[in-house]
Amino acid sequence: MTHGSECLLRLYEERLELEDYQNGVPRWCNGCGDNAILAAVQRLCRDEGLRPEKTVFVSGIGCSSRFPHYMNTYGFHGIHGRALPIAQGVCLTRPDLKVFVNTGDGDCCSIGAGHWVHAVRYNMNIKLFLHDNQIYGLTKKQASPTSPAGTRSNTTPRGSYLEALNPLTVTLGVQNVSFVAQAADWIPELLYDIVKAAYRHKGFSFVRIIQRCPEFMPNQFDPWMHDPQRTMLLRHAQGITPSEGLARVYRNVREHDPSDLERARAVASCIDPVPVGILYRNEEVPCYEDLRRSTKMRTAAYVKAGLEAEFDKFTIWPEEARTPAAA
């Protein structure tokens, strides 16, 4: 149901432009992939007609987590690794809002790993964009969980010892997974198409975006950028269909049915060529908020009554208040 105030807003401001979603000048480094992700998301908001007052971006800590500052919508800049529980709280209490989470490979895959796994399992209607540059950028070059083995950093000066964690295979291994995709910031057309597909999916959309860090990992993705054959485009009628122009450049195209979970796990394990597109999508997985949602509206009076009932459990009443008045 649309309230009268919303109808009035739409009467006078039906069409929104890119500028309506922009807020301030991004402070990311020149050439940082975060800029491309921001452009794709702002374009999505415009094309899908998302109302700024009905949209919220949540983040934790890191370069990517400055995202809400640059969106002219509601935003919540949380603490390290805790973006998802905040977003889940918003989703449960305000189902009328469109909820997005922007997080980094350290923020999500290290301190926030427990929340990440359970967010997949709960399958709430949240869109998560993982900005994965394979390094801690904000704190100046420490190895992250997705840093390749041998990465020299301030915490691993002789090179990291462990193989990199694969966010795609981890997500695809969790019960109730419903949407997993991968994009690259240097292919803006596909980045936008994947972001749009993630938004239109009902449930938890997990999108890993391979993102360049020109400051601390300047040449990390050059082999994939300079050789299109090392990028594998996933094409399917139920997934993404690359344009003819894009297919002429990226000729390594593979038909992939995103309903095939086992095949999606095999494709996700591929590192070279790197798969780009929708790996898995299942519209039948129920959303947790639909299973738990109360039929009673959470009005201000309803919330106040609930708080008062909880406070009353711990209230120490004056003796005279508990003693019946003398007849």
User: What's the whole-number mean pLDDT along residues 133-144?
Assistant: 95
- Per-residue pLDDT at 292: 82
User: What's the whole-number mean pLDDT along residues 252-261?
Assistant: 96
pLDDT grade, residue 296 (50/70/90)? low
Average pLDDT, the chain: 92
pLDDT grade, residue 8 (50/70/90)? low
Give the integer Cα–Cα distance in Å for 103 and 107: 6
* Tokens coding 285: 């997985």
On whether the CB atoms of residues 132 and 105 are closer than 8 A, the answer is yes
- Per-residue pLDDT at 300: 81
In this predicted model, which residue has the larger pLDDT, 299 or 320?
299
Q: Is residue 121 part of a domain?
A: yes
Task: Classify 116 as helix, strand or coil.
Answer: helix
Q: Is residue 2 part of a domain?
A: no
CATH number at residue 191: 3.40.50.970
Q: How far is CA 317 from CA 300, 306, 314, 327, in A?
A: 26, 19, 9, 21
- Per-residue pLDDT at 317: 78
Residue-wise pLDDT for 313-326, tens only, equals 988 877 755 556 55
* Tokens coding 193: 């198409």
Total domain count for the chain?
1
Residue-wise pLDDT for 157-184, tens only, equals 999 999 999 999 999 999 999 999 999 9
Q: Is residue 40 part of a domain?
A: yes
Alpha helices in 130-273 (DSSP H): 167-172, 188-200, 222-226, 244-249, 261-268
pLDDT grade, residue 253 (50/70/90)? very high
Name the residue range of residue 268's domain. Answer: 16-286
Q: Is residue 10 part of a domain?
A: no
Q: Is residue 276 part of a domain?
A: yes
- Per-residue pLDDT at 10: 55
Residue entry with tokens 């106040």: 304
Please provide residue 67's backbone torsions phi and psi, each rounded to the nearest 5 degrees.
-50, -50
pLDDT grade, residue 303 (50/70/90)? confident
